[in-house]
Amino acid sequence: MENIHEYRLASDLVITYVNRKPQLRIPSQHRRFEVDSKVMCVVSAFTGNPEETLLRLEKTISKNTIQAIVNKLIDVGVLVSANEQKQSKTSEIVRGWAEWGESTWFVHLESRDANYRSADEVGKEFMESSEPHPPTYKCNCEKSNITLAKPSTLSNMTLSDALTLRRSYRNFLPESIKLQELSDLLYYTGGILFTNSTRFFGQVAKKVAPSPGGRHATELYPVINNCEGLERGIYHYCQKHHALHLLSKEEDVKLFLDEALYGQDYFLDASVTIFYTSVIDRFKWKYKGGRMYRLMHYETTHYAQNFLLTGTAHNLGVFMTGAFKESLVESKLGIDGVHEVAMYVTGAGQKDEIGPYARAGIELSENVPTDFKIVLPKALSSTAEQKILG
């Protein structure tokens, strides 16, 4: 076989096994191919010296079959020229992102440049489908129900002030927040404003936060440490009834939070910590491609930003973190990690007067208007003294 040494396996080639059958996947092309053992033997030859390996392979597979397989692998992009592989943007991503692990670039490439179809095209399929519409919210109010007060109008702070005063706090006083403040935090994060019917996709909820396709897959689980009128414990927020359901009482929620948040003990005095989850079936019912994984994260962060701004409007310290043990959190919340998965964490509490953190070399942007309110870090004389975030 001529010029075989000029070819390389595609840099983003991934081999998976579905129902015990191998598949060649090229995420940058959104393509997958179910193959047999002969193809796998040929593919394996290109991990080393293909000329020598393919020659030995002719003892068990005919030369014509090997050549046909090689030609097909070139045709579909599993094999590419060495020069093409070296210069491709995909190879640059795989090399440049290597320290993040294969899963990072695989998901990025697989969900990139998705093939979106028109609403009419998708809607026609849904009209012909018998797949039932998944529930749009979780409700445990029949088991127990702690009704929250109606949300306030947050008229004590302007939007611009909430935006510029929002800082990530790491220092909280061991003091309670008001039940009204908790009510506002939950409602403006995940509460329902109204519902309406759609042509193809049934009844959808509309909230303060946007959602891809109106699916609103996010659920909120407040862990209450210090809130007036509530026991310490882990709760679920019913967005339908603006109510809380107590999942488990906890004498000291800090024990769970310390382990769940990888020992980030500066969050432990926060009055409430919110765990965000995503109910997979709500998205999967409408979206069938890999881009759904991006949509889950888009939605969660829309919710989280509303939480942070609402907390700031109440003059509370707020925080967010992506450093948490998903498996522990899912077990504690009573979710399976398959149909509902943990996504993110935010929290709020009474601010310590020392400020959100301490920094050296503080320099205010020249673009900040002179009359804007802004919280600056505590000033330090040298970078070596910086606290909390390194």
Mean per-residue pLDDT, 120-130: 75
Q: By the 8 A CB rule, do 318 and 169 touch?
A: yes
**Using one digit for the tens of pLDDT, what is the confidence trace for 108-118?**
999 999 887 77
Q: How far apart (Å, rounded) are the C-alpha atoms in residues 215 and 135? A: 10
CATH 3.90.930: which residues of the chain?
4-110
Nearest to 168 by CA among 382, 346, 372: 346
User: What percent of the chain has a predicted confidence (pLDDT) above 70?
Assistant: 96
Give the CA angle between residues 205, 209, 211 to the nearest 5°: 60
CATH 3.40.109.10: which residues of the chain?
146-356
User: What is the pLDDT at residue 378?
Assistant: 74
Mean per-residue pLDDT, 355-369: 78
| Segments in 9-166 forming alpha helices (H) | 37-45, 50-57, 63-76, 82-87, 89-96, 102-110, 119-128, 159-165
User: What is the pLDDT at residue 387?
Assistant: 56
pLDDT for residue 1 is more than 90:
no
- CA 330 vs. chain centroid, Å, equals 15
CATH for the stretch 4-110: 3.90.930
Alpha-carbon distances of 90 from 98, 166, 207, rounded to whole Å: 12, 38, 38
Cross-strand bridge partners of residue 204 = 196
pLDDT for residue 308 is more than 60:
yes
For domain 146-356, give the fold. NADH Oxidase (3.40.109)
What is the pTM assigned to this prediction? 0.90
Q: By the 8 A CB rule, do 156 and 251 touch?
A: no
- Count other C-beta atoms under 10 Å from residue 259's C-beta: 14
**Using one digit for the tens of pLDDT, what is the confidence trace for 266-286?**
999 999 999 999 999 999 988
Terminal CA-to-CA distance of the chain, rounded, Å?
57
pLDDT for residue 46 is more than 80:
yes
Nearest to 347 by CA among 174, 224, 179: 224
- Residue 250's pLDDT band, with cuts at 50, 70 and 90, is very high
Give the pairing of strands 31-34 and 21-26. antiparallel
**Using one digit for the tens of pLDDT, what is the confidence trace for 139-195?**
998 888 999 999 999 999 999 999 999 999 988 999 999 999 999 999 999 999 999
Alpha-carbon distances of 7 from 40, 78, 85, 296, 383, rounded to whole Å: 16, 10, 9, 38, 51
- Side chain identity at residue 237, one-letter code: Y
- CA contacts within 13 A on the Cβ side of 37: 4
